[in-house]
Structure 1
Amino acid sequence: MNQSSLNATLIFTSYGSFHPLNYFFFALTLIFYLLSVCSNVFLMLVICFESSLHKPMYILLFNLAINGLLGSSAVWPKIMDILYSNTKEISQQACLLQVFWVNVYATCVYTTLTAMAYDRYVSICKPLQYHTIMTASKVKQLLLLVNVIPACVIALQIYLTSRLPLCKYTIDKMFCDNLTIVNLSCIRSTIVNLYGLCVIIGLILLPIIIVLVSYVMILTVCLKTSKDAQKKALSTCSPHLITFINFSLASLFNVIYNRVHSSRPSGINIFFSLHFVMVPPLLHPIVYGIRTQEIRRSIARILRKRDLCMVV
C-alpha cells in the first residue's frame, strides 16, 4: 500500500474560483444550517419535556431528529469553511470521516424509518396487542439495532476504503463520498465494490422493502375498517409516509448526482448533491410538527406555559 496516501491532501474542484458572491452563499448556507439545527433541537426538546410524547413513535422520532443533526453537521460546516476561506483542501482522514458520518446518517435514517413503519403497523394492524409488543425493552432493542448496526457496517466500509492507495487527489463534488474516494484509487478492489453493494442492499433496499410491505399490510387492514378509522390511520401515518418519500427522493437525487453529474449543468449538480443533506433534516421536524396532532398540542401547551410564566 502507498503509505503516503494515508496523509494525502484532497482538493475540491466543484467550487470554482473565489468570488465575492461566496459570502452570500456562505450566509445562505449558515441560515439553512441554523434552521435545520434549531428545528431538530426544538423537536427533541418538545419530545423530551412533554411526558405525553414518551411513546415508542416519538422516541424513534427523537432518534430521527438526532440523525438530521448528524447529516447536517457532517457536511455544512465544511462547505461554509470553503465558501468563507476559499480553502478547498481536505485531508484524506477528514474526508473519510465525513464519508463515515454522511453514510451513517443515510443508513440510520432508513433503519429508523423502518422501525417507525413497524410501530405504525403494530399500532394499526394489532391495536389490542400494541402495548404488549412495543414495550420499553423492545423500543431499546430497536434503537440499538437502528443505530449500532449501520455504524458498525459503515465503519468497516470506511476501513476497507482507507486501505486503497490513491493516485488522484481531486474531488469534483461538494463534499466527500465513498464512491469518489474509491474512484481516486490506483486499483479496483472487488472486495470494496462487493461490500458496498451489500451495504446498499442490506441498509437501504431492504429497509425500503420492509417499509413498503408494512404499508401494504396497513392499507389492507384500513380498507376493511370504517371511514373514521381510515382517516385516523391516514393522519397517523401521513407524517412518516411524507418523510419516507422525501428521503427516498433525496437519496435518488444523490445517486443521480454521483452517477451522471458530469453531464449536467452545475446548478442541477449543486441541487442534487445538497438536497440529500439539506432538505430532509430541515423538512422532517417541520412535517411532524405540522402533521402530528399530539406534537402540535404539546407545542401549544409549552407556549401557554411560557406565556403564563412571563405574566407571573
Structure 2
Amino acid sequence: MNSTHYTYFTLAAYFDIGLLKYLFFVIVMIFYALTVAANVLLIVVICVNRSLHEPMSLFMCSLFISELYGCTMLFPMIMVQLLRDVHTIATSLCFLQIYSVHSYSTIEYLTLTVMSYDRYLAICHPLQYHTLMTNNRIATLIAVPWFYGFLIVLITISVSSSLQLCGNIIHKVYCDNYSVVKLACSNTSAFNIYGLFISFATIGIPCLIFIYTYMRILKVCFSGSKQTRHKAVTTCTPHLASVINFGIGGGFELIQSRFNMNHVPNILRILLSLYFFVIQPFFNPLMYGLKISKIRILCKSLLFAKM
C-alpha cells in the first residue's frame, strides 16, 4: 500500500447529534469542573495541613496532581470537538494527546503501586515504618513514576510517529497510540515486540508488586489483632477500590483497542473508551475524601470555615 504524510487525523467516533451537542458540551464542562475542584481541594488540604504531611498523604497528593494533568489534557479537546462540525485534529496535537494520555495512565498506575508498597510497610512492618520511609525515599518514590512515565512514553511516541501510515481515521473520540499503529503500512512486528516488553515492565511488574503486598497484608490481618485489621481496612479500602476501578477502566480500554466492537452501539463504545480517563480522576478524590476521616474533617473545616 502507498503511504502518505498526513497533516491531520479524523476522529470517526463522533457523530452528528444536532443541537444536543451543546447539552453534551455543558455536561462535559461541569464534570470537568467538578473533577478539577475535587482534586484541587484535596491537594490544598494535604499541602496546608502539616498533620497530613505523612508518606501516604504525599503519595495521594502526587496521585491527584497526575489526575489533574490527565483530565486537563483530555476534557478541553473533547469539548472543542463536540462543538465542531468536522472532527479532525492536527497530527502534532494528536501525538501530544497520545503522549499526555499514556503518560498519565502510566504515572497513575505506578503511583498506585508505590501506595501499595507504602501500605505494606505500614501494616507489615509498623515499628520500622518511619525508619524505612525516609524523606529521601519518599521523594524518590514520588519522582520515579513521573520520570519513568514521561520518558517511556516519549520513547514509544518517537517510534510510532516515525511509522509510515496508510490512513488517518481513528475510530475513537481521542487519539491513542495503538489506533495510530494500526494505520501503519509497514510490518509492525518489531514495534509489537517492543510493546510487549514495555507492557511487562510497566504493567506486569507493578501487578506482581500489588499481588505480593496485598497477600502479605491479608496474612497480617488474619493473624493480627483487631486494631491491626481495623487499620488495614481503613487505610487500604480506598486504595484497593482505586486499583480495582483502574483495572476496570484498563479492561474496557483493552477490549476497545484489541477487539471488533462494531456490534456495540456507538454511544456505549464512546462511554467505555472514556471510562478510564473520566471516572478515575473523579472517583479517587471522592473515595479518599470520604473514607479517610482526617481528610474528610479537614475538607469540611476548609469549605465551611466562614460559616
Q: Determine if the TM-score, normalized by the shorter chain, exceeds 0.5.
A: yes
Confirm whether residue 178 of structure 1 aligns to residue 177 of structure 2.
Answer: yes
How far does residue 70 in structure 1 lie from its aligned partner after superposition?
1.7
Residue in 2 that maps onto 1:94: 93
Residues of 2 paired with 1:66 and 1:3: CA distance?
40
In the alignment, structure 2 segments of 5+ residues that lack a partner are: none
Residues of 1 paired with 2:7 and 2:280: CA distance?
32
Residue in 2 that maps onto 1:152: 151
Residue in 2 that maps onto 1:265: 265
Q: Is the 8 A contact 2:123 2:228 kept in 1?
A: no
The residue type equivalent to 1:258 in the other structure is: S
Q: Is the 8 A contact 2:12 2:170 kept in 1?
A: yes
Which structure is higher in helix share?
Answer: 1
State the SS of the aligned residue for 2:128. Answer: helix
The residue type equivalent to 1:140 in the other structure is: A
More divergent stretch after superposition (46-55 vs 83-92): 83-92
Residues of 1 paired with 2:97 and 2:139: CA distance?
28
Alignment of 1:55-66 (within 5 A): 55-66=54-65
The residue type equivalent to 2:264 in the other structure is: R
Confirm whether residue 294 of structure 1 aligns to residue 297 of structure 2.
Answer: no
Q: Is the 8 A contact 2:165 2:183 kept in 1?
A: yes
Residue in 2 that maps onto 1:253: 252
Residue in 2 that maps onto 1:12: 11
State the SS of the aligned residue for 1:168. Answer: coil
Count of residues in Structure 1 that have an aligned counterpart in Structure 2: 305
Residues of 2 paired with 1:223 and 1:279: CA distance?
33
More divergent stretch after superposition (178-187 vs 225-234): 225-234
How far does residue 299 in structure 1 lie from its aligned partner after superposition?
1.8
State the SS of the aligned residue for 1:278. Answer: helix
Residues of 1 paired with 2:109 and 2:47: CA distance?
23
Residues of 1 paired with 2:88 and 2:302: CA distance?
45
Residue in 1 that maps onto 2:160: 161
**TM-score normalized with structure 2 length:** 0.95
Q: Is the 8 A contact 2:4 2:166 kept in 1?
A: no
The residue type equivalent to 2:31 in the other structure is: F
Residues of 2 paired with 1:253 and 1:3: CA distance?
31
Q: Is the 8 A contact 1:157 1:192 kept in 2?
A: no
Q: Is the 8 A contact 2:238 2:291 kept in 1?
A: yes
Confirm whether residue 129 of structure 1 aligns to residue 156 of structure 2.
Answer: no
Q: Is the 8 A contact 2:42 2:299 kept in 1?
A: no
Residue in 2 that maps onto 1:218: 217
Q: Is the 8 A contact 2:73 2:97 kept in 1?
A: yes
How far does residue 166 in structure 1 lie from its aligned partner after superposition?
1.4
- Cα deviation code 1:74-133 (max 9, x no counterpart): 211111001112241111111111111111111111100010001000000000001111
CA separation of 1:28/1:303 partners in 2, compared to 1, >3 Å: closer, same or farther?
closer
RMSD between superposed Cα atoms in Å: 1.6
Residues of 1 paired with 2:197 and 2:19: CA distance?
44
Q: Is the 8 A contact 2:41 2:299 kept in 1?
A: no
How far does residue 18 in structure 1 lie from its aligned partner after superposition?
5.2
User: Percent identity between the aligned chains?
Assistant: 36
How far does residue 59 in structure 1 lie from its aligned partner after superposition?
0.7
The residue type equivalent to 1:71 in the other structure is: G
Residue in 1 that maps onto 2:109: 110
State the SS of the aligned residue for 1:204. Answer: helix
Hey, which bits of structure 1, 4+ residues long, moved more than 4 A? none
The residue type equivalent to 1:130 in the other structure is: Y
Residues of 1 paired with 2:78 and 2:198: CA distance?
26
In the alignment, structure 1 segments of 5+ residues that lack a partner are: none
The residue type equivalent to 1:80 in the other structure is: M
How far does residue 16 in structure 1 lie from its aligned partner after superposition?
1.5
The residue type equivalent to 1:198 in the other structure is: F
Residue in 1 that maps onto 2:142: 143
Residues of 1 paired with 2:105 and 2:203: CA distance?
8
- Cα deviation code 1:22-47 (max 9, x no counterpart): 11111111111111111111111111
Residues of 1 paired with 2:301 and 2:125: CA distance?
31
How far does residue 227 in structure 1 lie from its aligned partner after superposition?
2.0
Residue in 2 that maps onto 1:29: 28
The residue type equivalent to 1:22 in the other structure is: K
How far does residue 303 in structure 1 lie from its aligned partner after superposition?
4.2
State the SS of the aligned residue for 1:298. Answer: helix
Residues of 1 paired with 2:143 and 2:3: CA distance?
36
How far does residue 3 in structure 1 lie from its aligned partner after superposition?
9.7
State the SS of the aligned residue for 2:262. Answer: helix
